[in-house]
Amino acid sequence: MKKILFWTVMLSVLSVKGESNWDQITPSADFRYRFENSKDEAASEGRNRHRIRVRIGSLYQINDQMKFELRLATSDGPSVTTTNSTLGNQSKPKDIYIDRATIQKKYNDLIFNIGRMKQVFTKAGKNQMFWDSDVSFDGLHVNYKFSGAYLNLASFWVDENKASSTQDGADVTLSASQIGYERESGDFAYNLGVSQYHYENARKVGYDPNSTGEGLNFLEVYGELKYAWKYPITIAISSIKNNEAEDNNSSNYVGFSMGKAKKKGSWIVGLNHRTVEANGANRDFADGDFAGKTTDSSGFIYWGKYKLTDHEYLSFGYFVNKKNIDTTEDDYTKLQVDYGVSF
């Protein structure tokens, strides 16, 4: 049934209004093969995994103001924070899910998104401390840009609950706002902003991703500085506080990268450090690789990417982290080596 649904959706999108409109469709696809080795002192275990990621999408320009995006992706579970599918499960077929299904409408500098959509918030240095890059959002989003300033407003559905004898049916929603300013000056460019992420009804229905009993109402201040050198340099920072938690309520990130991996022979390398206290992020949506997908953690990530051709790349990520930093400070390491193709 899943295979029938998959091909029905894809063929429907690729044949909207017949062949005469194929020039209005922009297809995209990518494939990644990953070897991963992890060691977790807290669990006294290690693991080797081979994983694939496949994403197939299309963008249909309905008219000058409106477009539709559909993307399908592999996933285990499905998982909110990964589109990887682990190999070796008795060679069973892999599942494919709807990763994005978005209608976007534009009125001059005002953009509306509705449906299941890609990341819509600015993240300094594209960091994943608070939002894993594989997270897609369900709901509504508005973006407005004016004279270098930008505004993001969103309402997303996190957990839908039906009413019962012990539950009033309150849904967990995420109300988010972000305002920032970006500007270029000579070889320099900077981006500064503030974000607010408030989970409504979380305590009311017992939504407690961090198992600490605290609420979720985050305030973020972030900044990014870029220097357009021969090998472009980016420095990024993010500081977050959970205003509904009394203690262990902050997260901090600083990152550095050099280079730009776009064309054959180009490369980029980087490192970042973060500390995520127990109540400093929502574990459901934070980086799914860092410290085994836990808060109450800290450490470094070293990473790099090299373009073999315009379409192929090799990349690596090495995580040197600590789990349970408020108590036992257990070591956690992870090595990822990727081969990818985009087309």
User: In sequence order, which ranges of 15-105 are alpha helices (DSSP H)?
Assistant: none
Q: What is the mean pLDDT of residues 4-16?
A: 48
Average pLDDT, the chain: 92
Tokens of 274: 């973060």
- Using pLDDT thresholds of 50, 70 and 90, give the confidence band for residue 92: confident
Q: Give yes or no for residue 1 having a pLDDT over 60.
A: no
Domain ranges of the chain: 2-342
Q: Which CATH superfamily is domain 2-342 in?
A: Porin (2.40.160.10)
* Per-residue confidence (pLDDT) for residue 117, from 0 to 100: 97
* Per-residue confidence (pLDDT) for residue 39, from 0 to 100: 96
Strands, E assignment, the chain = 25-40, 45-61, 66-74, 85-86, 96-107, 110-117, 137-146, 149-159, 172-185, 188-200, 217-227, 233-242, 250-259, 267-276, 297-307, 312-323, 330-342
Q: Which residue has the higher pLDDT, 154 or 169?
A: 154
Q: What is the mean pLDDT of residues 245-264?
A: 96
- Using pLDDT thresholds of 50, 70 and 90, give the confidence band for residue 78: confident
Q: Lowest mean pLDDT: which of 174-188, 195-209, 249-263?
A: 195-209
Q: What is the mean pLDDT of residues 291-313?
A: 97
Q: What is the mean pLDDT of residues 56-72?
A: 96
* Per-residue confidence (pLDDT) for residue 129, from 0 to 100: 98
User: How far is the CA of 186 from the CAs of 190, 192, 236, in angstroms?
Assistant: 11, 17, 19
Q: Give yes or no for residue 95 having a pLDDT over 50.
A: yes
Is the pTM for the entire model greater than 0.75?
A: yes
Q: Give yes or no for residue 203 having a pLDDT over 90.
A: no
Percent share of the chain, pLDDT over 70: 92
What would the pLDDT profile of 156-189 be if each residue is shown by its tens digit? 999 988 877 666 778 999 999 999 999 999 999 9
* Per-residue confidence (pLDDT) for residue 166, from 0 to 100: 62
Q: Give yes or no for residue 18 having a pLDDT over 80.
A: no
